[in-house]
Amino acid sequence: METRSLGTSDIQITPILMGTWQAGKKMWVGIEDEESIKAIRAAYETGITTIDTAEVYGEGHSEQIVAKALSDVRDRVVYASKVFANHLQYDQVIEACDRSLTNLKTDYIDLYQIHWPSGSFNSEIVPVAETMKALNKLKEEGKIRAIGVSNFSRAQLEEAAGYGRIDSLQPPYSLFWRQVENDAAPYCIANNISILAYSSLAQGLLTGKFGLDHQFAEGDHRAKNKLFQGENYQRAQNALEQLRPIAKSHNCNLAQLSLAWLIAQPQTNAIAGARNAAQAQDNAIAASVNLSPDELQAIDQIGKQVTDHLDHNPVMWNW
């Protein structure tokens, strides 16, 4: 798989990244460690060499699973992890990074990201200058190679960038969830900041596997996703039907088509999770689906049939 530069750093990432929120198990159902390990390994073997995780995914469990899957090829993969909103004081950032290094069984993290802005989830308000001071220190020490932010607005991103180089933004972004295009994306494009889109398949909605009457199991956080509710869900189903002929013409499935559209957007790469090896292998194929300008435009318009009816709240869930 081709690689791309992460921001202005010397790190090379794959346009499809392996997402490992589900490997942490918390807020997911039916996840088994052995299947997660096989999925991560399969992603690597099909060319996806960039792996995204976070300390809060299962309180370090996801990071530990990543290490079990890839420690023997650590020098050939890129690890991206995150510090959570409740650990943004200077000392807390340093300690959180050390915990993640231990969990990942490595002495450096390629990309270390602020997971949510200070104050999120009723966390303590910490000046971004203090958090960035710690991240810059970690970078100077070689414990991290690049700094990123996640779930930041354009204003928050610009403020953080005033205290050090930011090489990536990780927002929710998919064909069915596109608020970032009107907020932070233009700033990222102008300043060569890589966009690492999460929920790039709208938490599975863009796979087309959920029928009109689908009900999520107890404990599955997707039940609170706005896209799976009411008229939003009906519009999504209608849009999927319009996408099927385009996918068929490329001999790919809906998920691969959606990922191919996403990584064709400026500065944009797609984080895609997988419960098993087959899903990881399917995700990798998206990097080889080449869409024409006319097809990209057609897909864009189909997606807007869903996104034009959403509010401007960037948070995808009714938590």
Q: Which amino acid is at 205?
A: L
Helices 254-263/277-285 angle, 10° precision = 50
Residue with tokens 């990536």: 168
79 flagged as catalytic: no
Among 57, 112, 173, 198, the one annotated catalytic: 57
Distance CA 177, CA 268 (A): 14
Beta-bridge partners for 273: 19
3-state secondary structure 79-109: EEEEECHHHCCHHHHHHHHHHHHHHHCCCCE
10 Å CB burial of residue 227 (0-12, 13-18, 19+) is buried
Buried b (16+ CB within 10 A) or exposed e, 276-311: bbebbbbbbbbbebebeeebeebbeebbeebbeebe
Residues 57 and 20 sit within 8 Å (Cβ to Cβ): yes
Report, as residue numbers or ranges, the catalytic residues.
Answer: 57
